[in-house]
Structure 1
Amino acid sequence: MATRSMDGGVHAHDPHSCLCCRPEIFALTDRMTADLTRRGFMASMATSIAALGLPGLATAQTKTALETTPAPTVFKNFRLFDGQGETLRDGFHLRVDDGKITALAEGDVTASQDVTVIDCGGRTLMPGLIDAHWHAMFAPLPMISLLTSDIGYVYLAASAEAERTLMRGFTTVRDVGGPSFALKRAIDEGLAPGPRIFPAGALISQTGGHGDFRMRSDVPRSEGRITYSEEIGAAAIADGPDQVLHRVREQLMLGASQIKLTGGGGVSSLYDPLDTLQFLPEEISVAVRAAADWGTYITAHIYTPAGISRYVKAGARCIEHGQLADEDSVKLIVDHDVWWCLQPFTEASDMNRYSDKENQRKQQMVWDGTDRAYELAIKHKAKVGWGTDILFAPAATVNQGNMLAAMKRWYTPAKALKMATGDNGDLLALSGERAPYRGKLGVIEVGAFADILIVDGDPTEDIDLIADPDANLLLIMKDGYIHKNSIPA
């Protein structure tokens, strides 16, 4: 049997010997736990990973447990895409200090000896990409693996995928469902490379809703009993205003930057037809009020006009998906100043394909509605965010950049690029004081985070460059740290 390795390659693999059962993994565990000090942990991690030959788990230039400060860096000789306009500008230099952009000025640069100067050779400098609908814990594993594997294995898989996500140029993701709090912490503390994460925590779902991963044998539910998907924080089942309030507050306690409610049927889920409405208006209102009391917002998974109407009227600040929207529901989105996070789901896309006939039928409905949804969004000037929603499909995560390139079906490359940078940065700002990072994202301006890409070409004319990050993203910087630099000397 062939499997995809952590470095993205395909290798022969014994089907009776999984990675977590290899003797090397047991040795890694013993060595990692031998010294729980920060410095000892990092030293043992680096040595053990080298011994295992797992290059996908570590990056040479990644910061080490907050013990280092990135060197001051100056970029020169580039064409600037700032994430706010849709054209390139020339004649600037840019300085980075301590993870932030501290200067963006015209003219030549004079730098002292303690500053690293990078000559971009006339290439494009742009902000790091933002995926506003990502599932850091759900993307890298099939659903059956997520729901049956040891949680340690799930986190190892998610950590490896987080690094690959960063190396595709995605320096920030809005995680809209999954137990990503620990992964976020590890990335923020420098224990693992990966993008910034705006976590929602568990999918909050009614019984039988899109986030109900239970088996039929788990019903009826015994008093006080929770299933594995709830135990690991993948889902939180709530029925009635009191339970919804409880589950929302739990995710806020854990550090959610926004709250995700599953408001209608889903393509991947087991029990709910696509047209179903989930959560009563009074349940939604309680969730909206609880999130607002913490200075943040509710976003809702929903496809249908009726579902969009219910959630917008109840106070949700963002609609996820919405491919079946009609004219009236889109007008409602615009009139209430609600964000609409759409995904370019079409039959041509190599995304989230299902073997079950009912899942296929629901997926076809979404495919058929996507063109109309984008047409309505453009017509009514809706605030549109961009995301991928790669779900339970480890082989599809490599297509993250392809899904951005697919946006040229409806938008100019420059507009699509702006959507995945500055526009998505504005969407992230809905989290207000619950935003886990203090600074602007998705733009190149003084004071913004130094999340920077150098592209070998002009992505505002040819957005397909983003689809091949290995070849075309010559430099990837996040928070002032360089994770890749292959610019020719």
Structure 2
Amino acid sequence: MLTAFRRGALAVLWSAVMATAAPLAAQDAPAPEVIFANVRVFDGTADQLSGPTTVVVRGNTIAAIGPDAAPASPDATVIDGTGQTLMPGLIDNHVHMMFNSLSPAQMAAPDMSLEKIVQLSAEQSRAMLLRGFTAVRDVGGPSFMLKRLIDSGKVMGPRIWPSGPMISQTSGHADLRHPSEPSRRFSGKMSKAEEVWASVIADGRDEVLTAVRENLRMGASHIKIAAGGGTSSEYDPLDVTQYTLDEMKAAVDAASDWNTYVTVHAYHPKSVRRAIEAGVKVIEHGNLLDEDTLRLMAEKGIWLSGQMLVESTEAMDPKRREKRKPVIEGQQIVWPMAKRLGVKLAWGTDFLFEPDLNARQNAYILRLKPFFTPAELLKLVTSQNAELLALSGPRTPYEGRLGVVAEGALADLLLVRGDPLADIDLIGDPAANFTVIMKDGVIVKGAR
């Protein structure tokens, strides 16, 4: 059933790609050389800026750094960065590229199609890149074709590490069926959400293996499964644990055979401890975790990919707001406790079905200011997030080092007006303060 569905959906999605690619073409080739002169550098790992220096970008990589660095070509583009900071591009480790551009009403509309989703998502991906986000980890949705459009230069957007559709048990966090939709076990039909690759419902070891392998076949860099209840789903209370240990192990086995990893949606200790026992390497959210579980994560090197969400938005219905309260309260406790215990931390936004939030992506970084120094915060959204991306090993879709300004690293760079270590709020207003945005050696905003 899953394989036949994938063949049909792939043909439809390729048709959508061909229909939307032409009007969205926007990206140039890298210049032979770009010189950032008189810049101070935040390299992604240090606690302070460098002195005034020169950074040479050749092709899509950083070729040289230092006061004596010089271009090899007389035709190099020279950018005077006096009074500005050169830093790595921002990384968001928890996005839904295909569904952050849709409201729930749009998603449920009878005329919603993959073609429309691709079009809306392409527009949002361009805006995301122009906010300075040069790489993202997509943790649920059919972003494979959007990624290919971006990588081919037909659409502007960040590099994407895709998981493919989130995999869920029946009644789990990614069981997005309308109340009138029966299980395909009884009706033989895929749900509306599965038709557009929002999620896959898989029960039992065999179905989980098939679902994971299907995502890997399509190009997943990692696998996302739902291990506990959530606040954006209708059927699962926040306290429930999802997937048996055997089912979770099936997902980990299939992913590890492809030399990549499983991340899980989970909030509370029981679901997280089961995931750790199964061999999962990353926990998304974890807002309700206790100190003992966080200490276990630190001991085993398990990542916590967290967010700093708002209590409510205008788009939320009253039931969702009420369901979300303990999650909001818990994040105020978990972030500082996880930091104190030495848990490996990553950050993301997790905007989903609320398009109005997208413009606030940078501002959501600043919501962590109570827990991190400016240097810690910049490291979190650059080099630390890049370290998590690298967990994909050979399934990493882009060769080269990200999240740092270093010789040989990929040239995903931001030129920031002023010193973000002295005034971290600068990164909250990219339109005003990011004078140059470069991705893969291409200047997408600023001097050309």
Q: 2:332 aligns with which of 364, 368, 371?
A: 371
Cα RMSD after superposing both structures: 1.8
Do the aligned residues in 2 keep the contact of 1:353 with 1:360 (CA within 8 Å)?
no
Q: Does 1:285 align with 2:285?
A: no
Q: Does 1:230 align with 2:191?
A: no
Shift of 1:105: 2.2
Q: 1:130 aligns with which of 67, 91, 97?
A: 91
Shift of 1:110: 5.3
Shift of 1:356: 2.7
Q: Which moved more, 1:123-132 or 1:366-375?
A: 366-375
Shift of 1:106: 3.2
TM-score of the two chains, using structure 1 as the length reference = 0.85
Shift of 1:352: 5.2
Q: C-alpha distance in 2, partners of 1:200/1:367?
A: 26
TM-superposition CA deviations, 1:349-407 (whole Å, max 9, x none): xx655543321112111111111101211220111001000111100101100011111
Shift of 1:136: 0.4
Shift of 1:162: 0.0
The one-letter amino acid of 2:285's match is H
Q: 1:200 aligns with which of 151, 159, 163?
A: 163
Q: Does 1:416 align with 2:377?
A: yes
Q: Which moved more, 1:100-109 or 1:151-160?
A: 100-109
Gaps spanning 5+ residues in structure 1: where? 1-28, 34-40, 50-56
The one-letter amino acid of 2:82's match is G
TM-superposition CA deviations, 1:407-449 (whole Å, max 9, x none): 1121011111110000000000000000000011111111111
Equivalent residue for 1:247?
Answer: 211
Q: C-alpha distance in 1, partners of 2:58/2:294?
A: 43
Equivalent residue for 1:97?
Answer: 58
TM-superposition CA deviations, 1:155-175 (whole Å, max 9, x none): 110000000000000000000
Q: C-alpha distance in 1, partners of 2:106/2:310?
A: 26
The one-letter amino acid of 2:377's match is A
Equivalent residue for 1:166?
Answer: 129
Q: 1:332 aligns with which of 296, 299, 314?
A: 296
Q: Which moved more, 1:453-462 or 1:106-115?
A: 106-115
SS of the residue corresponding to residue 218 of structure 1 reads: coil
Q: C-alpha distance in 2, partners of 1:86/1:339?
A: 22
SS of the residue corresponding to residue 161 of structure 1 reads: helix
Do the aligned residues in 1 keep the contact of 2:25 with 2:154 (CA within 8 Å)?
no
Do the aligned residues in 1 keep the contact of 2:141 with 2:199 (CA within 8 Å)?
yes
Q: Does 1:187 align with 2:150?
A: yes
Q: C-alpha distance in 1, partners of 2:140/2:59?
A: 31
Equivalent residue for 2:323?
Answer: 362
SS of the residue corresponding to residue 365 of structure 1 reads: helix
Gaps spanning 5+ residues in structure 2: where? 1-14
Q: Does 1:72 align with 2:36?
A: no
> What does 1:308-327 align with in structure 2 at a 5 Å threshold?
308-327=272-291
Shift of 1:72: 1.2
Shift of 1:95: 1.2
Q: C-alpha distance in 1, partners of 2:69/2:165?
A: 50
The one-letter amino acid of 1:389's match is D
Do the aligned residues in 2 keep the contact of 1:346 with 1:370 (CA within 8 Å)?
no
SS of the residue corresponding to residue 106 of structure 1 reads: coil
Shift of 1:111: 5.2
* Highest RCO, 1 vs 2 (Cα 8 Å, sep ≥ 6): 2
Do the aligned residues in 1 keep the contact of 2:212 with 2:251 (CA within 8 Å)?
yes
Q: C-alpha distance in 1, partners of 2:402/2:314?
A: 32
SS of the residue corresponding to residue 368 of structure 2 reads: helix
The one-letter amino acid of 1:72's match is E
Equivalent residue for 2:234?
Answer: 270
SS of the residue corresponding to residue 397 of structure 2 reads: coil
